[in-house]
Chain A
Amino acid sequence: MKTVIIKYNAGNVQSVMYALDRIGVNYLWTNDESEIRSADRVIFPGVGEASTSMAYIKEKGLDKVIPTLKQPVLGTCVGMQLMCRYSEENDTTCMGIFDIDIKRFKSDTYKVPHVGWNNIYDFKSPLTKGLSESSFMYFVHSFYAEISPETVAQCDYVQPFSAMLQKDNFHAAQFHTEISGKEGQLILENFLKIS
């Protein structure tokens, strides 16, 4: 099986690579279109700021490649946000795979960013198979995806928001599967297993 991690100007891809190493999966880190298209699995990670990341993705033409992929794709954190329609983070038009807007947490009582372990619930994804309801995942983000028909796991902070999304072959998680302990690893393993 060929697993590709999409290479762009996102930080901390190393953690994702080590997580795949722990599972025992080989991977290729590339932004080459033919390599991405021929992969069995595509991981689109992300740490950083939406507009800078999106500008880079457009420059490399990846905004045309990613939405047309047919194999299972997993976007995490900012990767997930870039797969949505629009982000309030510096007024960024994203790829629009998910018909959802990304908004900033607004609260006088909650701290922003949302940093730490929070539980996810209401699972509707093949990626959460075998995962206990209310499992804890590690989040670090100031912007969130609203609840929508594409929401397949929820989390509460300020208000309920989308912890995971799915539309056809496109899967996404707001939290960091790669550093969310055994539970995060299970989601990665499930992603590598689904047909």
Chain B
Amino acid sequence: MPTLTSEPTPLSAAAFDRDDPRLRLVEQTLKRFQYRPDALIEVLHVAQETFGFLGDELLTHLAARLQLPESQVFGVATFYHAFVLRPPGKHRCIVCTGTACHVKGADVMVKALEEHFGIQAGQTSADGQLTLGTARCLGICSLAPLLMVDNRVLGHQSLDGIAARVAAALTDSDHSGESTP
């Protein structure tokens, strides 16, 4: 389960505004599900895809639209790993820690990356450039051990020099303009 932090979710005023054009996409989804409360998870998926993360005000807004108690919306948003409540970094690097990857040294890879970038798995660097994460299993076990940099899968990684390769891949996606939405 995701742990709750005591600090409030940082949410700049610019990130949420009732006339935000991005809200239209969310509104369309709400309409498609006829504002039924059981569509909550689907709506949260769309909202996160559109906004990048689920801020407090966005959750409050969705609760009102679906006529659900805020506690329930917050409860669902914090229960599922896929939902993030704080802004992610510009890029993300996700190390798969499935069983096949684990027996091939995924934990060593995570430690190396944590040391190199100076952040723990699950954290975002101070400059907002990179979110380092782990995934339970990406289901691509035949390429173990593997990691994802933005939307690119790097398979069959060796443990030596992994940090340098990830840094290079990050620069690559900087140039190609690819980044996590």
User: A and B from one assembly?
Assistant: no
Where the two chains meet, the residues of B that have a C-beta atom closer than 8 Å to any C-beta of A are none
Point out residues on A near B: beta carbons under 8 Å: none
